[in-house]
Chains A and B, each alone.
Chain A
Amino acid sequence: MSTASIKVGNKADVHYLLRVADACLILSQRLGEWCGHGPILEEDLALSNMALDLVGQARGLLTRAGQLDGQGHDEDQLAFLRDERQYFNPVLMELPNSASGNSQPGDFALTQLRNFAVATWLQLLWHELQSSSDAEVAAIAAKAVKEARYHQQHAADWVVRLGDGTDESAARMRAALALLWPYFNELFADDAVSAAAAAQGLGPQWSTLQPQWQAQMNEILAEAGLSLPKPSAYVPSGRLGIHSEHMGHLLAEMQYLQRAYPGGKW
Chain B
Amino acid sequence: MNPQPSSSACGRLEAAWEVLRQIPDPEVPVISLWELGIVRDLRETAGGLEVVLTPTYSGCPATELIQDDVRAALARFGTVEVILQRAPAWTTDWISEAGREKLRAYGIAPPGRVLDSGAQPIRLVHRASLSKLACPRCGSANTEKLSAFGSTACKALYRCLACREPFEYFKPI
Task: List residues of A whose CB falls within 8 A of some B CB.
Answer: 41-42, 45-46, 49-57, 59-60, 127, 135-136, 138-140, 142-144, 146-147, 149-150, 152-154, 156-157, 160-161, 216, 219-220, 223
**Are B87 and A219 within 8 A (Cβ)?**
no
In the complex, the answer to whether A45 meets B86 with C-beta atoms within 8 Å is no
- B120 and A143 contacting across the interface, CB-CB below 8 Å: no
> Contacts A49-B149, A154-B148 known; A139 to B59 CB distance under 8 Å?
no
- The residue on B at minimum CB distance from A50 is B149
Contact status B61-A52, CB under 8 Å = yes
Bound Cα distance from A160 to B147, whole angstroms: 17
The B interface, classified by DSSP as helix, strand, loop or mixed, is loop
* Smallest CB separation, A82 vs chain B (Å): 21
The reply to whether A46 and B124 form a contact with Cβ atoms under 8 Å apart is no
- A42 pairs with B149, CB closer than 8 A: yes
Contacts of B30 in A (CB 8 A): none
Cβ B122 vs Cβ A45 within 8 A? no
- Rounded to whole angstroms, the CA-CA distance of A140 and B90 in the bound complex is 11
Q: Is the CB of B146 within 8 A of A42?
A: yes
The 6 closest A-B pairs by CB, nearest first: A56-B59, A56-B58, A139-B87, A139-B86, A52-B59, A42-B147
Tell me if B153 counts as interface (CB < 8 A to partner A). yes
Nearest Cβ on chain A to B49's Cβ, whole angstroms: 23
A sample of 22 inter-chain contacts (CB < 8 A) reads: A41-B147, A42-B146, A42-B157, A45-B147, A46-B147, A50-B149, A51-B59, A52-B61, A56-B57, A57-B58, A59-B58, A60-B58, A139-B85, A140-B86, A142-B86, A142-B89, A143-B89, A146-B89, A150-B173, A153-B122, A154-B148, A160-B124
Contact between chains at B149 and A46 (CB < 8 Å)? yes
B150 within 8 A of A: yes
Q: Chain B residues in contact with chain A, CB under 8 A?
A: 55, 57-61, 85-90, 117, 119-120, 122-125, 127, 146-151, 153, 157, 171, 173
Q: Report the Cα distance A219→B125, complex, angstroms.
A: 15
**Chain A residues whose C-beta falls within 8 Å of the C-beta of B157 in the assembled complex:** 42
User: In the complex, what residues of B have CB within 8 A of residue A139's CB?
Assistant: 85-89
* A150 and B171 contact, CB distance less than 8 A: yes
Cα A138 to Cα B60 in complex, Å, equals 19
Q: Once the chains bind, are B122 and A220 in contact (CB under 8 Å)?
A: yes
- Complex Cα distance A149/B118, Å? 11
**A45 CA / B60 CA spacing, docked (Å):** 14
Residue in contact with B55 in the complex, picked from A42, A50, A143, CB distance below 8 Å: A143
Q: Is the CB of B58 within 8 A of A143?
A: yes
Q: Whole-angstrom distance between the alpha carbons of A157 and B123 in the complex? A: 9
Contacts of B117 in A (CB 8 A): 146
B125 cross-chain contacts in A, Cβ below 8 A: 157
Question: Given A135-B87, A142-B89, A157-B125, 14 more contacts at CB 8 Å?
Answer: A46-B149, A52-B60, A52-B61, A59-B59, A60-B86, A136-B86, A139-B85, A140-B58, A142-B86, A143-B89, A146-B89, A149-B120, A153-B123, A156-B122
From the candidates B60, B85, B88, B173, name the one contacting A146 in the complex (CB within 8 A). B173
A108 vs B34: C-alpha distance when bound (angstroms): 40
Please name all residues of chain A whose beta carbon is closer than 8 Å to the beta carbon of B122 when the two chains form the complex. 152-153, 156, 216, 219-220
